[in-house]
């Protein structure tokens, strides 16, 4: 419980990942990855870890998208995809799932599990479905930009 504990667990998972990291996140979560985990993600990429990030974005994410695109494959969620949450999968073996919007640091709550069944048979297929229906940065047309 609490943003600090969640950030520490994510950091530990990045450091221990051997093959893959898949992330679904919010604009705030994308900025947190940039601010708190960019160096650790770079080291994971250098170890050969494949990193994919699918995110809802807004105007606050420009710098984060640019920086994270250097270490991960980043895709943006279309407006039609009603996902507003945070999921972090490592190696298909463990995950952390945000249970709150994370608005207040002391109230941030997440579930961490090493359930390979949940990671591999539930969350990875959901991530892949979201990934296939997201777009590379620069190709996203939002409802507001289409007007």
* Strand-strand pairing, 87-90 and 20-25: antiparallel
Convert the pLDDT of each residue in 42-73 to its tens digit. Answer: 999 999 999 999 999 888 999 999 999 999 99
Does some domain include residue 146?
no
Q: Does the residue 143 lie in any domain?
A: no
Residue 139 has pLDDT above 80, yes or no: no
Helix (H, G, I), strand (E, B) or coil at 146: coil
128 to 23, 28, 104: CA distances (angstroms): 11, 22, 30
| Counted domains in the chain | 1
Task: Identify the CATH number of the domain in which residue 21 sits.
Answer: 3.30.870.10
Mean predicted lDDT score pLDDT of the chain: 88
Predicted model pTM: 0.89
Write out the H or E segment, with its range, that includes residue 117. helix 116-117
Residues of the domain holding 67: 3-135
pLDDT tens figures, 12-45: 999 999 999 999 999 999 999 999 999 999 999 9
Q: HEC states along 17-76?
A: CCCEEEEEECHHHHHHHHHHHHHHHHHHHHCCCEEEEEECCCHHHHHHHHHHCCCCEEEE
Confidence label for 99 from pLDDT (cuts 50, 70 and 90): confident
CA distance linking residue 99 with residue 108, whole number of Å: 8
């Amino acid at each position: 419980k609490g943003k600090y504990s969640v950030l520490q667990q994510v950091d530990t998972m990045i450091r221990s990942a051997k093959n893959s990291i898949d992330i679904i996140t919010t604009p705030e979560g994308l900025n947190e990855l940039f601010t708190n985990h960019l160096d650790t993600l770079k080291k994971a990429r250098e170890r050969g870890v494949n990193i994919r990030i699918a995110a809802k974005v807004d105007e606050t994410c420009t710098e984060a998208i640019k920086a994270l695109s250097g270490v991960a494959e980043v895709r943006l969620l279309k407006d039609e995809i009603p996902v507003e949450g945070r999921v972090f999968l490592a190696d298909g073996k463990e995950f952390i799932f945000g249970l709150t919007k994370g608005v207040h640091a002391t109230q941030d709550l997440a579930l961490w599990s090493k359930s390979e069944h949940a990671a591999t048979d539930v969350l990875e297929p959901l991530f892949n479905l979201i990934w296939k229906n997201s777009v590379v940065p620069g190709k996203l047309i939002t409802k507001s930009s289409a007007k």
